[in-house]
């Protein structure tokens, strides 16, 4: 079995009680807040297709409370919005340590902090191993390689593939706006790809993949593209795994953004906030993005790369009608460059830049504002002739991939992890 932890009791009320007890031991303030707001929040409708609905409601209640607390605190000028949201990361933080199966070290790759997970058993014959570079999610503003679910995922990957995992602790916005998170990852990867470093970890240079979920999937896709355009880069990736990735900032009103505007765990408002914070702390961009009126004449020329009426199969159109985002004559200066930069929005490249990309695994979820970002990239990669495995979870929601650790452990999260690792086994 990939996941050894047995299922605990399935009574929803018991689960809820245990969940809340665990919270209390960690943060009394959040418990109280969650408690007070539960009555209100559980009435948010969650689609019937979603499994373990009750548990998702409680989890969502916690996230939503935190979002409100962050907004409130930001409004009063007490603490910055993302500072409050960072509690999610703090609560789930663990100390990655070596055990019987996995040897863990914290390293610095050309100034970039990484955690390296290796199989403990030294294969005596000096056989080279595969490697996975992992980039965590969290909207470029939150998250850490040291969160429990990412630590667990890295260990599972090492054990199932007998591979080396490099989990990158890139710097976050704010204060580190685009392109710093991207550049951190790129520097770390280039360092790892040096012959001497690969040799030190006994990694086969022909069998390295990059993977990431959500904003990590965005960075993974961008890394795969940029490495290829780097003339001095001889080592290239063999595969890329993009788990409900963020792919574009031009159209924040795709059918999936509309359908899932209030869906747990990532409401549209929060995703738009992540985008705007990635680029700037100037709130004008946030408000323009919320209205989908942030495009300029310059970015307007790239809307063809995210035209969902062409790039989404009919089945994803739903009842929504396409209308191109309006173009403003002039926007703030940051809009011109970052908004059209494929290192931020990997969908914004011509087909010629996609053709030679490594084979791809793309996971999408039906109940996710980012669903259409992933599906559009699948269409574009396939049109360019790239080998793509697309797994669409019709009962999936955003964040499920990392909901594998008690008390927020979901069956669907385990299935997602299993299917992803299975794909790596076969394709890396
Ligand atoms: C999107 O595609 C439709 C259908 O081909 C077309 O009418 C529309 O002009 C396109 N919009 C943009 C911005 O490319
Ligand atoms: C899309 O257009 C059709 C035909 O004009 C209309 O009947 C439908 O209500 C529109 N859908 C939405 C979501 O506005």
Report how far ligand 2's centroid is from the alpha carbon of 320 (Å).
7
Mutate to test the pocket of ligand 1, among 295, 299, 305, 310 (most ligand atoms within 8 A of CB): 310
Could you write out the three-class secondary structure of 354-417? CCCCCEEEEEEEEECCCHHHHHHHHHHHHHCCCCEEEEEEEEEECCHHHCEECCEECHHHHHHH
Query: Distance between alpha carbon 11 and the CA centroid of its chain, in Å?
Result: 31
d(CA 71, CA 293): 22
Report how far ligand 2's centroid is from the alpha carbon of 199 (Å).
59
**Residues above pLDDT 70, as percent of the chain:** 87
Query: Could you read off the pLDDT of 309-351 as tens digits, one per residue?
Result: 999 999 999 999 999 999 987 666 556 689 999 999 999 999 9
Q: Give the closest ligand to the alpha carbon of residue 323.
A: 1
Report how far ligand 2's centroid is from the alpha carbon of 321 (Å).
6
Tell me: pLDDT of 360 over 80.
yes
Query: Could you read off the pLDDT of 363-382 as tens digits, one per residue?
Result: 999 999 999 999 999 999 99
Return the residue whose CA atom lies nearest to atom 4 of ligand 2: 321
pLDDT score for 62: 85
Mean pLDDT of 43-58: 85
Asked if residue 285 belongs to a domain, the reply is: yes
pLDDT score for 8: 38
pLDDT score for 389: 98
Tell me: pLDDT of 41 over 90.
no
Query: Could you read off the pLDDT of 237-276 as tens digits, one per residue?
Result: 999 999 999 999 999 999 999 999 999 999 999 999 999 9
By annotation, the residues acting in catalysis are: 214, 368, 398
Expressed as residue numbers, the domain containing 233 is 101-428
- Report whether the peptide linkage leading into residue 175 is cis, meaning its omega lies within 30 degrees of zero: yes
Tell me: pLDDT of 2 over 50.
no
Average per-residue pLDDT for the chain: 90
Asked if residue 54 belongs to a domain, the reply is: no
Asked if residue 321 belongs to a domain, the reply is: yes
Asked if residue 51 belongs to a domain, the reply is: no
Query: How many domains would you assign to the chain?
Result: 1
pLDDT score for 407: 86
pLDDT score for 10: 41
Asked if residue 159 belongs to a domain, the reply is: yes
Task: Tell me the helix, strand and coil percentages in the chain, rounded to 5.
Answer: 45, 15, 40
pLDDT score for 336: 61
Report how far ligand 1's centroid is from the alpha carbon of 315 (Å).
18
Mean pLDDT of 86-115: 95
Asked if residue 85 belongs to a domain, the reply is: no
Residues with CB under 6 A from ligand 2: 319-321
Residue 328 belongs to domain with CATH number: 3.40.50.1820
Banded model confidence at residue 126, pLDDT cuts 50, 70, 90: confident
Query: Could you read off the pLDDT of 161-174 as tens digits, one per residue?
Result: 999 999 999 999 99
pLDDT score for 297: 87
Residue 363 forms beta bridges with which residues?
243, 391
Q: What is the pTM of this model?
A: 0.90
Asked if residue 317 belongs to a domain, the reply is: yes
Nearest atom within ligand 2 for CA of residue 319: 13
State whether the Cα torsion 185-240-219-116 is positive or negative. negative
d(CA 404, CA 88): 15
């Amino acid at each position: 079995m990939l996941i050894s932890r047995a299922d605990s009791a399935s009574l929803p009320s018991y689960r809820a009680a245990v969940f809340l007890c665990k919270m209390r031991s960690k943060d009394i303030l959040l418990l109280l807040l969650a408690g007070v707001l539960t009555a209100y929040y559980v009435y948010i409708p969650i689609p019937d297709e979603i499994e373990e609905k009750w548990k998702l409601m409680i989890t969502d209640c916690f996230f939503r409370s935190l979002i409100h607390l962050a907004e409130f605190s930001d409004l009063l000028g007490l603490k910055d919005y993302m500072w409050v949201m960072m509690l999610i990361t703090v609560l789930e933080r663990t100390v990655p340590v070596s055990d019987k199966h996995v040897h863990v070290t914290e390293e610095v790759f050309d100034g970039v902090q990484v955690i390296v997970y290796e199989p403990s058993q030294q294969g005596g014959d000096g056989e080279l191993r595969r490697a996975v570079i992992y980039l965590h999610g969290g909207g470029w503003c939150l998250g850490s390689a040291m969160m429990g679910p990412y630590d667990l995922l890295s260990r599972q990957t090492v054990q199932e593939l007998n591979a080396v995992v490099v989990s990158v602790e890139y710097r976050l916005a704010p204060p580190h706006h685009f392109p710093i998170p991207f550049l951190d990852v790129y520097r770390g990867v280039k360092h790892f790809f040096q012959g001497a470093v690969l040799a030190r970890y006994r990694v086969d240079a022909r069998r390295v993949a990059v993977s990431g979920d959500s904003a990590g999937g965005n960075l993974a896709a961008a890394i795969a593209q940029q490495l290829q355009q780097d003339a001095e880069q001889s080592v290239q990736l063999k595969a890329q795994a993009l788990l409900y990735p963020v792919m574009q900032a031009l159209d924040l009103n795709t059918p999936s953004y509309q359908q899932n505007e209030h869906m747990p765990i990532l409401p549209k408002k929060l995703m738009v906030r992540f985008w705007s914070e990635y680029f700037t702390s100037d709130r004008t961009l946030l408000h323009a993005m919320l209205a989908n009126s942030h495009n300029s004449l310059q970015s307007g020329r790239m809307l063809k790369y995210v035209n969902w009426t062409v790039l989404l199969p009919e089945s994803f159109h739903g009842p929504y009608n396409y209308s191109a985002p309006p173009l403003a004559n002039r926007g703030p200066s940051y809009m011109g460059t970052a908004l059209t930069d494929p290192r931020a929005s990997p969908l914004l490249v011509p087909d010629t830049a996609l053709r030679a990309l490594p084979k791809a695994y793309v996971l999408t979820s039906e109940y996710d504002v980012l669903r259409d970002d992933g599906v559009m990239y699948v269409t574009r990669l396939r049109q360019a002739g790239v080998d793509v495995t697309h797994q669409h979870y019709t009962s999936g929601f955003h964040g499920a991939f990392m909901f594998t650790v008690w008390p927020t452990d979901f069956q669907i999260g385990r299935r997602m992890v299993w299917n992803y690792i299975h794909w790596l086994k076969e394709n890396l």
